[in-house]
C-alpha cells in the first residue's frame, strides 16, 4: 500500500471482521490479536479493498431481502 491512511482504514475494517467472528483468518492464527492478524494478511497480499468490499456486499444482502419481503406483504 502506498498510502498509510488507506492501510489504517483497511486494517481496521479487517480487524473488526476478525474480532466479531464474522470472518475466518486467511493465515494461521498464531495467538495474534485481530489487528496484528489483519496487518499480516494485508502484508501477505491476501487482503485488499476489493475483498473487504465484496464481503460487505454479501453481508448486506440478507438484511435488504428481509425489508423487501415485509414491504411486499404490506401492499
DSSP the chain: ---HHHHHHHHHHHHHHHHTTSS--SS---S--HHHHHHHHHHTT---HHHHHHHHHHHHHHHHHHHHHHHHHH-
What is the reported pTM? Answer: 0.67
- Whole-number Å distance between alpha carbons of 7 and 10: 5
For residue 47, the tally of other CB atoms under 10 A from its CB is: 23
pLDDT at position 70: 58
C-alpha cell, 30? 498464531
Could you tell me the CATH number of the domain that includes residue 61? Answer: 3.90.940.10
- pLDDT (tens digit, 9 = 90+) per residue, 26-36? 888 888 999 99
Total domains, the chain = 1
- pLDDT (tens digit, 9 = 90+) per residue, 2-59? 889 999 999 999 999 999 877 888 888 888 999 999 999 999 999 888 877 776 666 5
Domain that holds residue 10: 4-74
Amino acid at each position: 500500500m502506498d498510502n498509510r491512511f488507506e492501510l489504517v482504514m483497511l486494517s481496521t475494517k479487517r480487524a473488526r471482521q476478525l474480532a466479531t467472528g464474522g470472518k475466518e483468518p486467511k493465515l494461521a492464527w498464531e495467538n495474534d490479536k485481530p489487528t496484528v492478524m489483519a496487518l499480516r494478511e494485508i502484508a501477505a497480499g491476501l487482503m485488499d479493498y476489493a475483498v473487504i468490499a465484496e464481503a460487505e456486499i454479501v453481508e448486506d444482502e440478507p438484511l435488504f431481502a428481509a425489508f423487501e419481503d415485509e414491504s411486499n406483504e404490506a401492499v
